[in-house]
Structure 1
Amino acid sequence: MRNNYIRRAAELDAAFSAYERTHGSLPGIVDPQRRETLIEQIIDSEQRVNFTTTLQTRDLDPEATNPLSPAFHPLKAAVLHHRAGELDEAVWMVYLYVHFGRHRIAGWRYIRDTYSAFGSSELQWWTWQRTAGDPTSFRFWLDEHQADYRVAPGRHGFGNHHKYGSLAAWSEQGTGAAFESYVQWVLAAGGDHGQRFASLSAATPEDTFDAMYRSLSAVRQFGRIARFDYLTMLGKLSLADVRPPHTYLVGATGPLTGARQLVNNDPTAGAARELQNALTLLAAETQITPDVLEDAVCNWQKSMDRYIRFQG
């Protein structure tokens, strides 16, 4: 266990022990090494959440909004746009962050290249206003620049959660269709993100999260992981009043395997909805938020006997 997290590790171990005294042992972490590895993954997941939420209190470099600057960072850009009263642009940054992801070598390259229209003047950038105003023109632009994505120097690619994504302009499974369907989803409520979010507002932040999660099925290339990541990020950045009510294991792969391993000590045993309910109880009684728990069990099941640090 890393020295700087010994106290938090002890707190998590005590929380698991308290849960097990009431509900019985968690078969997947009876082995002490597997238990410690899961605790380390939970700590990593919590640190990623903490980094995001603390962005709102930091002095951020204005260049973080500039896709041509080395300082560009889509989440920092979202915070800066929100501070400037530009909710649409802030949420657009979150959408781009989720759709393209961060490549382990190329970083934010796909977001930079697309948002900046390959280094065009600022008036030509694919901001929310420009993209939402004419998504068909974006698709024509994307089609015309397919070769530019491939020949520009250096590595390129989508992030890990969307590593099989497509830049195709006209395919129903490509970025062109994804952008246009997202624009349509937002505009269907009246004209901007604020109206879209208000139209799905429910009694609690958890109910709103679930309503938005279901509604986002209309957006192409926005499956379970993308919807969950998009909504949790909106909540963490205070762009929408949402909180996940539970893990979303129906349709999941890695998180479902991790839940099966944790609850049943068998990566193939257990129905998704039943395990989702089991993790909901575990999250509530250990005070581990559903997004942290889902992320942690997903990473834990990749290497249960030896801690490996994953980037998200």
Structure 2
Amino acid sequence: MKGPEKRQKAKDLESRLIEFHKEQMPLLGIASVENIVAFVDQLIDSLQRVEYVHKVRQRHISPLRTDPKSNLFDPVRAAMLMASNGQHEEAFWLVFLATHCGRNLRTEWLLARELYGAYENIPWSWDRVAANAEAYSDWLEDNRSIFAGKFGNHRKYESLKRGARGTGVVVRTYVEWIKANGSHVNLIAKIQAQAHNNPRRAFALLYDSMDSVMSFGRTGRFDYLTMLAKVGLAAIDADSTYMKDATGPKKGARLLFDGQIDSRTSHRDLEARVAELERHLGVGMQVMEDAMCNWQKSPRKYVPFRG
């Protein structure tokens, strides 16, 4: 989104927000000019992040993006390339690694590189890990001291250490979830059939089915599933912001509708209001979730958040 297009989109969103505020439901948090401008800017940022991934899929992707020994390694781009080459199981695994590690502002994708086997003769591919998740866990324990990469902001409480919630257990429970359904591709096909090919219903079913994956709560599941959609691995679309277990998005929703982040409005009521507003704006639940979370950190002045 560039220049004139971006300005027109911002103008349209502002107009729709004002219309919603006047005709459907008060938006007390954006009653001031400063707040509505800042919120619109966050919506634009979130839309551009989604749009960017779709654009990258259309470009040439270097094979070096798939090589953990290369500084160019990028698990998201690698997943796109793998998917385009028919290597879907590996693509899903790379999206999982990207989500579990997150992109750190300082070390970028280094941790994902290391977990994929940056210092190994051969990568820890999906086939290799799925065949022996315990061996992968042992390898992590033996080598974690040499890893220099850091977890991203959404995964800042994760750990490489052996333990009940360590990365070894996270990977093992992920492998068990997928293998219980045969494969990633089989899982998606089964869910799509159950959802009668409804993208939002399929998202909800996958979200619920991921409950057994250790340390993948609301944020982890939401990030993983929305990235599967953006990469093109699953025809799903977030049906909700999953407000019940949210922190930043819940504060953002309370501020947006009630004018205060500590209002007592229930998560169910907030979710219903967000759904109504999303239908009016037509931006998608992923954009709503991201924008509300970032906006509540600085509601009067736009601040870009990249963590």
The AA in structure 2 aligned to 1:147 is S
Greater than 3 Å deviation, 4+ residue runs: none
Q: Which residue of 2 aligns with 1:282?
A: 277
Secondary structure at 1:145's aligned position in 2? helix
> For residue 68 of structure 1, what is the aligned residue in structure 2?
69
The alignment-based identity, stated in percent, is 35
- The C-alpha deviation readout for 1:170-200, integer Å capped at 9, x for no partner, is x11110000000000000012x101122222
Unpaired runs of 5+ residues, structure 2, are none
**Number of equivalent positions:** 301
Shift of 1:57: 1.1
Q: Deviations over 1:25-79 (max 9, x none)?
A: 3100001101000000111101100111112211111111111112211111001
- Tell me by how many angstroms 1:89 deviates: 0.5
> Any idea what SS the aligned residue of 1:243 has?
coil
Name the counterpart of 2:23.
22
Q: How does 1:47-196 map to 2 (within 5 A)?
A: 47-116=48-117, 118-122=118-122, 125-149=123-147, 152=148, 156-169=149-162, 171-190=163-182, 192-196=183-187
Match of 1:250 in 2: 244
The amino acid of 1:219's aligned partner reads V
Match of residue 288 from structure 2: 293
| Distance in 2 separating the partners of 1:10 and 1:78 | 35
What amino acid does structure 2 have at the position aligned with 1:92? W
Whether the 8 Å CA contact 1:255–1:295 is kept in 2: the answer is: yes
Asked if residue 264 in structure 1 is aligned to residue 258 in structure 2, the reply is: yes
1:18 deviation in Å? 2.2
Paired residue for 1:199?
190
Deviation at 1:24, TM superposition (A): 3.6
Aligned-partner Cα distance in 2 for 1:112–1:18: 47
- Paired residue secondary structure (2:141): helix
Deviation per CA, 1:228-277: give whole Å up to 9, x if none.
01111111111011111122111000000000000101111111111011
Q: Tell me the residue number matched to 2:219.
A: 225
Three-state SS of the structure 2 residue aligned to 1:53 is helix
Q: Secondary structure at the residue paired with 1:250?
A: helix
Quick check: 1:239 aligned with 2:233?
yes
3-state secondary structure, aligned to 1:200:
helix
- Mapped partners of 1:233, 1:279: distance in 2: 21
TM-score by length of 2: 0.95
* 1:135–1:180 Cα contact (<8 Å) kept: yes
Partners of 1:3 and 1:120 in 2: how far apart? 45
Using the TM superposition, give the Cα deviation of residue 20 of structure 1 relative to its aligned residue in structure 2, in angstroms. Answer: 2.2
- Are 2:215 and 1:214 aligned? no
State which drifts further: 193-202 or 208-217: 193-202
Q: Distance in 2 between matches of 1:286 and 1:137?
A: 48
SS at match of 1:231: helix
8 Å Cα contact 1:254/1:298 also seen in 2: yes
Distance 1:39 1:257 in 2: 17
By how many angstroms is 1:157 displaced? Answer: 1.4
Q: Where does structure 1 lack aligned partners over 5 or more consecutive residues?
A: none
Structure 2 residue 301 is matched with structure 1 residue 309 = no
Which piece of structure 1 moves more, 207-216 or 49-58?
Answer: 49-58
Structure 1 position 161, deviation (Å): 0.1
Cα distance in 2 between the residues matched to 1:286 and 1:298: 17
Secondary structure at the counterpart of residue 97 of structure 1 = helix
Contact kept? 1:187, 1:196, Cα under 8 Å: no
For normalisation by structure 1, the TM-score amounts to 0.93
CA shift at 1:3, angstroms?
A: 5.7
